[in-house]
C-alpha cells in the first residue's frame, strides 16, 4: 500500500521547523515513502515555489501534496484546535472558529482532518492542542489517529470517535526535524498520483493509519 506522511513542516514557512524542503524530500525517499504532504502553519506553499519542489520530488518518484495546518479559535479567543486542510487554492489567513473553517473549506471543495485531536497541552488532562471532543460536532473528513503526540490513551479516544462518527483515521509525523519524517504514515488502498486522488481516497475512507516508531 502506498504510504504518505501527510503532516510535515519545513523551515521555509514554519519558523518552528528545522527541515529544509530539499532534505525533507531526500529523507522521505530514503525511508521509503511514496508521498508527502507539506502542511505549514497558517499557509499553503505559493504555486510557483511548490512547482519547483514538486520537480525535486518527482525525480525521487515521490508525490507531493500542498496542504496547510490551520489553528481555530472561538469566542474569547478560546482555542478550538488545529486542522490539516487540503484541496484549497489559497492560504487561509483569517481568524476562524472550527465551524467556520469547516464551512469555508467544504465550500471551496477541500477536506479537513482534525490534527492531533487528543494531544495533551500543558494544561494537563482534557486540555488539548487539538480539537478534543469537538470532533463529534464537526462535519470533518478524517481524524489524525497516529501522531507522535498521541499516546495509547489518546489513540483509544480517536478510535472511539472514528467508530461513532465514521470518519477515517490518518497518520502523520508532524515533523519539525528530519529524523521524525515517516514516524507516522497514512496508507492508501489505491495508487495516489496527485492531489485529486489523495483527496478522493481520504474522503472515501480508503486509508489506514500506521505508527512506525
Ligand atoms: Zn499542530
Ligand atoms: Zn503540525
- Domains identified in the chain, total number: 1
Q: Which residue from 86, 83, 102 is spatially nearest to 195, judged by alpha carbons?
A: 86
Q: Is the pLDDT assigned to residue 121 strictly greater than 90?
A: no
Whichever domain contains 99, its CATH number is 3.20.20.140
**What is the 97 CA–ligand 1 centroid distance (Å)?**
16
The average confidence (pLDDT) of the chain is 96
Q: Are 112 and 83 in contact (CB under 8 A)?
A: yes
**What is the 193 CA–ligand 1 centroid distance (Å)?**
26
Is the model's pTM score more than 0.85? yes
Task: List the shell of residues around ion ligand 1, using CB closer than 5 Å.
Answer: 82, 115
Q: What CA–CA distance (Å, rounded) separates 21 from 31?
A: 15
Residues 169-187 have pLDDT tens digits of 999 999 999 999 999 999 9
Q: Is the pLDDT assigned to residue 124 strictly greater than 80?
A: no
Residues 65-106 have pLDDT tens digits of 999 999 999 988 899 999 999 999 999 999 999 999 999 999
- Residue 122: the pLDDT is 79
Give me the mean pLDDT over the 188-209 stretch: 98
Give me the mean pLDDT over the 51-78 stretch: 95
Give me the mean pLDDT over the 50-63 stretch: 96
Give me the mean pLDDT over the 17-43 stretch: 96
Give the range of the structural domain holding residue 157, as residue numbers without chain letter. 3-211
Higher pLDDT, 37 or 128: 37
Amino acid at each position: 500500500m502506498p504510504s504518505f506522511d501527510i503532516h510535515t513542516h519545513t523551515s521555509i514557512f514554519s519558523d518552528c521547523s528545522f527541515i529544509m524542503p530539499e532534505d525533507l524530500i531526500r529523507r522521505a525517499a530514503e525511508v521509503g515513502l511514496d508521498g508527502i504532504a507539506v502542511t505549514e502553519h497558517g499557509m499553503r506553499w505559493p504555486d510557483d515555489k511548490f512547482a519547483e519542489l514538486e520537480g525535486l520530488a518527482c525525480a525521487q518518484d515521490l508525490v507531493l501534496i500542498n496542504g496547510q495546518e490551520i489553528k481555530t479559535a472561538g469566542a474569547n479567543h478560546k482555542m478550538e484546535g488545529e486542522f490539516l486542510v487540503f484541496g484549497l487554492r489559497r492560504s487561509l489567513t483569517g481568524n476562524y472558529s472550527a465551524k467556520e473553517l469547516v464551512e469555508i473549506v467544504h465550500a471551496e471543495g477541500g477536506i479537513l482532518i482534525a490534527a492531533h485531536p487528543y494531544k495533551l497541552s500543558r494544561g494537563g488532562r482534557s486540555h488539548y492542542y487539538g480539537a478534543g471532543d469537538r470532533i463529534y460536532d464537526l462535519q470533518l473528513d478524517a481524524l489524525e489517529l497516529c501522531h507522535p503526540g498521541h499516546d495509547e490513551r489518546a489513540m483509544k479516544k480517536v478510535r472511539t470517535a472514528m467508530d461513532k462518527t465514521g470518519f477515517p483515521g490518518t497518520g502523520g509525523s508532524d515533523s519539525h526535524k528530519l529524523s521524525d519524517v515517516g514516524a507516522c504514515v497514512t496508507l492508501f488502498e489505491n495508487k495516489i498520483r496527485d492531489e485529486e486522488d489523495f483527496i478522493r481516497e481520504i474522503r472515501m475512507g480508503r486509508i489506514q493509519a500506521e505508527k512506525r516508531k
